[in-house]
């Protein structure tokens, strides 16, 4: 009975997540237009992630894993699905058409490598820093690491292309 309840709960969470993801992805372009383009929108989304990770960390440290899970679902579903189309638009704007597929492929592969490299590190940090056995509360290092990355990416200066890659280079 408990297993069945868990399966139903997970199904409902993934259903809600799917709805949130599709709604957010569909509205990414409108948000970018409203905020002045992909650059300012990316910065705004990193700041929204900063708030989300701060709320998640506070909820976990307060012993409210259900609140943290809700924040995580909204953050993962909405913010990531707003961020991805906006970020890919930024890449397209600063990449010559002949290199766009290559750049998007490199972005996808580097993102996967980053996640693959970071996952065991985050797992180790969780195991070492939070051995309380209090069910979801032990995940506070995940929120703290997310908070650090969001703080970095929301405050660092944004770089853009300085020259077109398909322009012929001048002879030296």
Tell me which residue of 159, 158, 153 sits closest to 46, measured CA to CA. 153
> Quick one: pLDDT band at residue 169, thresholds 50, 70, 90?
very low
- In terms of pLDDT, which residue wins out, 9 or 15? 15
Q: Domain ranges in the chain?
A: 2-155
- In terms of pLDDT, which residue wins out, 3 or 164? 3
Q: How far apart (Å, rounded) are the C-alpha atoms in residues 109 and 112? A: 5
Confidence at residue 172, expressed as pLDDT on a 0 to 100 scale: 46
Confidence at residue 141, expressed as pLDDT on a 0 to 100 scale: 85
Q: How far apart (Å, rounded) are the C-alpha atoms in residues 70 and 73? A: 5
Give the pLDDT confidence of 108-151 residue by residue, as tens digits: 999 999 989 988 988 888 788 766 665 667 788 889 989 999 99
Q: How far apart (Å, rounded) are the C-alpha atoms in residues 62 and 74? A: 19
Contact 79, 24 (CB under 8 A): yes
Confidence at residue 63, expressed as pLDDT on a 0 to 100 scale: 85
The mean pLDDT of the chain is: 84
Contact 78, 86 (CB under 8 A): no
Give the pLDDT confidence of 70-108 residue by residue, as tens digits: 888 888 889 989 999 998 888 888 899 999 999 999 999
Give the pLDDT confidence of 18-71 residue by residue, as tens digits: 888 899 989 999 999 999 999 899 999 999 999 999 999 999 888 888 888 888
pTM for the structure as a whole: 0.76
Residue 170 has pLDDT above 70, yes or no: no
């Amino acid at each position: 009975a408990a297993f069945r309840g868990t399966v139903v709960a997970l199904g409902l969470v993934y259903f809600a997540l799917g709805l949130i993801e599709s709604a957010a992805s569909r509205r990414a372009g409108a948000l970018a237009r409203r905020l002045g383009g992909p650059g300012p929108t990316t910065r705004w989304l990193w700041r929204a992630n900063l708030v989300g990770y701060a709320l998640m960390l506070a909820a976990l440290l307060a012993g409210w894993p259900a609140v943290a899970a809700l924040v995580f679902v909204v953050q993962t579903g909405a913010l990531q699905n707003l961020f991805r189309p906006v970020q890919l638009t930024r890449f397209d704007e600063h990449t010559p058409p002949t290199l766009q597929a290559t750049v998007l492929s490199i972005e996808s592969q580097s993102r996967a490598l980053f996640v693959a490299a970071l996952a065991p590190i985050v797992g180790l940090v969780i195991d070492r820093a939070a051995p309380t056995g209090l069910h979801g509360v032990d995940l506070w290092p995940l929120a703290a690491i997310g908070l650090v990355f969001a703080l970095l990416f929301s405050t660092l200066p944004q770089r853009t292309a300085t020259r077109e890659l398909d322009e012929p280079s001048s002879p030296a």
